[in-house]
Structure 1
C-alpha cells in the first residue's frame, strides 16, 4: 500500500534565484534570501524562542 498523494507545506519559503527541486503546496510566508531566525528557527542554537522572525544582514 502506498499514499494516494503527498503534499508539502513550509512555514518560511526563502526567495532564491534558482529553481527548487520540490515546490511547496502550502506556504506560510515568503522570506528574503537572507539568514532568518526566531519563532522556532534558531541561529547557532540561539534565539529560537523569539516571538518574531528576524533576518541577518542585507545588501
Structure 2
C-alpha cells in the first residue's frame, strides 16, 4: 500500500528492503509475505534515490 505516515509510525520496529533493478524474486516475495509493505512511490527508483526517499519519509 502507499505510505500512510500515521499507520507507519504506530509501529516501533522497521526494516527497509531495497531490491535490485529487476525487482525481487518470487522466493524473496514469499519470504516477505507476512510483512506489512509500503510503497514509497508508484515509480521504480534507483537504489541511491530509494534510500534518500525512505530517509526523508521517516524524518519529516
TM-score range, shorter chain: under 0.3
Higher relative contact order (CA 8 A, sep 6+): 2
Q: TM-score, normalised by structure 1?
A: 0.24
Q: TM-score, normalised by structure 2?
A: 0.24
Question: Which structure shows the higher strand fraction?
Answer: 1
